[in-house]
Amino acid sequence: MDLMPALDREKCNGCGLCVRVCHCNAFVMIGNLVAVVETDFCGWCTHCEAICPMGAISCPFEIVIEER
Ligand code: SF4
Ligand code: SF4
């Protein structure tokens, strides 16, 4: 899937918060660092980006609500 959060593993401190907050299991811990798993189930909630204390996650999308 193209629109997955981008992860900078250089900044990651291994706290695991993103793993816990993501309801789509898009993150897994590998040793002391986290990795983004290829998934089609990202809900684009941006909670992972918001909770990361190291600024290691960035979501390359924004939700736009269109009025009709
Ligand atoms: S929340 Fe940030 S610092 Fe913590 S494991 Fe996830 S990417 Fe790493
Ligand atoms: S945007 Fe939401 S659903 Fe997608 S990876 Fe982050 S926490 Fe998980």
Q: In CATH, what number is assigned to the domain containing residue 31?
A: 3.30.70.20
Q: Say which ligand is closest to the CA of 26.
A: 2
> Which residue do the tokens 């899937």 mark?
1
0.75 exceeded by the pTM?
Answer: yes
Q: Which residues contact 28 (CB under 8 A, 6 or more apart)?
A: 19, 34, 35, 37
CB 44 within 8 A of CB 3: yes
Q: Is residue 68 part of a domain?
A: no
Locate 32 and state its tokens.
């002391």
CA–centroid distance, 25 to ligand 1, in Å, is 14
Q: What is the pLDDT of residue 56?
A: 95
Domain that holds residue 27: 6-58
Tally of structural domains, the chain = 1
Q: What is the mean pLDDT of residues 60-65?
A: 77
- Please name the amino acid found at residue 62: E
Asked whether 14 lines ligand 1 (CB < 6 A), one says: yes
Q: Is the pLDDT of residue 38 over 90?
A: no
Query: Considering the domain boundaries, does residue 64 fall inside one?
Result: no
